């Protein structure tokens, strides 16, 4: 039995950083994200009962370093007595470079595995399974604007607004295309254990989530811009102050922020956010993307630009028997 699913990456405007339960991969804080349209990961899961081990191809090449995490994800979705699987993933953007490739990869793997085995999970259950593999993956189960809430000893994802009713655009400036130096999983633990700012980060998150929720409900771009930039810089401050420090930025990252500040000074409705990598994501109102794209493309050191609107939830695209 086989199935293929597509999931889009999502970008957090209010960030997930830190875990309250490492083993179950439960986040220390809630988060709010937008799911993208034009970046995707497509995962095919082929259940092969006669096989003795899982296999993984990523963009056509064997990817042994990622296999253990994919196998653990399949165990959670299908149970440890499951048949082995041949998993094949294709992705149209750089992997492990701070572009949320793990979010779309684990969301698509979860959805494809459940469909291949004809398991009728609800979206809430799929989100919990995907989130156990990678926290941000749970949000890719929702299209448009999504919130991930901490709920007792589990998580819950909920839609905040659909993608048509506030069609924001995102321009991604790639400032370095290699994989990142420290995984977000590792860096989060270093932050939790050693950053003097970690506790205040966790304690202030409910406040930031509340402001962002209201801004999204009211389509108040200025308010969303203000809280998203603050939350992003606060997350990076937590990591910069950890021991050892985690600094994902490069000189071009900083130059992109200056470009965005200049555009804001000229009245352009745009704000930045940066995740666990050196890429800069510029979020803007519809109609501003060309101007933002051009300004970032002209910023010294920018290697490539990608533009995307908001996109849909992870979904099954092929389901086959035999
Ligand atoms: C900075 O979801 O990659 O992008 O749960 O350990 O797999 P794990 O972490 P991951 O972390 C994402 C961190 C972030 C912020 C965010 O997406 O909310």
Q: What CA–CA distance (Å, rounded) separates 4 from 11? A: 23
Q: What is the three-class DSSP state of 244? A: coil
Q: What is the three-class DSSP state of 283? A: strand
The per-residue pLDDT of the chain, averaged, comes to 95
pTM: 0.96
Q: Pick the residue with more confidence: 16 or 94?
A: 16
Cα of 50 vs centre of ligand 1, distance in Å, is: 35
pLDDT tens digits, 128-156: 999 999 999 999 999 999 999 998 899 99
**Of all protein residues, whose CA lies closest to atom 6 belonging to ligand 1?**
185
Residue 48 pLDDT greater than 70, yes or no: yes
H helices of the chain, in order, are 64-78, 101-116, 123-133, 184-194, 198-218, 221-240, 251-265, 289-297
Residue 102 pLDDT greater than 90, yes or no: no
Q: Which of 30, 136, 140, 276 to mutate to test the pocket of ligand 1 (most atoms within 8 A of CB)?
A: 136
Q: What CA–CA distance (Å, rounded) separates 37 from 313? A: 9
């Amino acid at each position: 039995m086989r199935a293929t699913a597509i999931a889009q990456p999502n970008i957090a405007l209010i960030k997930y950083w830190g875990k309250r339960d490492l083993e179950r991969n439960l986040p220390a804080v809630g988060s709010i994200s937008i799911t993208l349209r034009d970046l995707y990961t497509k995962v095919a899961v082929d259940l092969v009962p006669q096989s003795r081990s899982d296999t993984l191809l990523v963009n056509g090449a064997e990817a042994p370093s990622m296999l253990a995490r994919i196998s653990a994800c399949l165990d959670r979705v299908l149970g440890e007595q499951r048949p082995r699987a041949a998993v094949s993933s294709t992705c149209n953007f750089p992997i492990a470079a701070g572009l949320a490739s793990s979010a779309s990869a684990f969301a698509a793997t979860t959805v494809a595995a459940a469909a291949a085995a004809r398991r009728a999970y609800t979206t809430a259950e799929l989100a919990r399974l995907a989130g156990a593999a990678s926290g941000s993956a749970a949000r890719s189960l929702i299209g448009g604007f999504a919130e991930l809430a901490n709920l007792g000893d589990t998580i819950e994802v909920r839609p905040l607004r659909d993608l048509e009713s506030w069609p924001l655009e995102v321009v991604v400036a790639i400032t370095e295309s290699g994989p990142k130096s420290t995984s977000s999983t590792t860096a989060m633990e270093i932050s939790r254990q050693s950053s003097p700012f970690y506790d205040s980060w966790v304690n202030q998150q409910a406040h930031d989530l509340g402001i962002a929720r209201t801004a999204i409900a009211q389509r108040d771009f200025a308010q969303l811009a203000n809280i998203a930039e603050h939350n992003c810089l606060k997350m990076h401050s937590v990591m910069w102050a950890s021991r050892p420090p985690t600094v994902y930025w490069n000189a071009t990252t900083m130059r992109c922020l200056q470009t965005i500040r200049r555009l804001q000074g000229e009245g352009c409705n745009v704000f930045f956010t940066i995740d666990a990598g050196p890429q800069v994501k510029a979020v803007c109102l519809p109609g501003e993307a060309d101007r933002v794209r051009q300004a970032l493309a002209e910023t010294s050191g920018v290697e490539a630009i990608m533009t995307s609107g908001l996109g849909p939830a992870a979904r099954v695209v092929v389901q086959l028997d035999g």
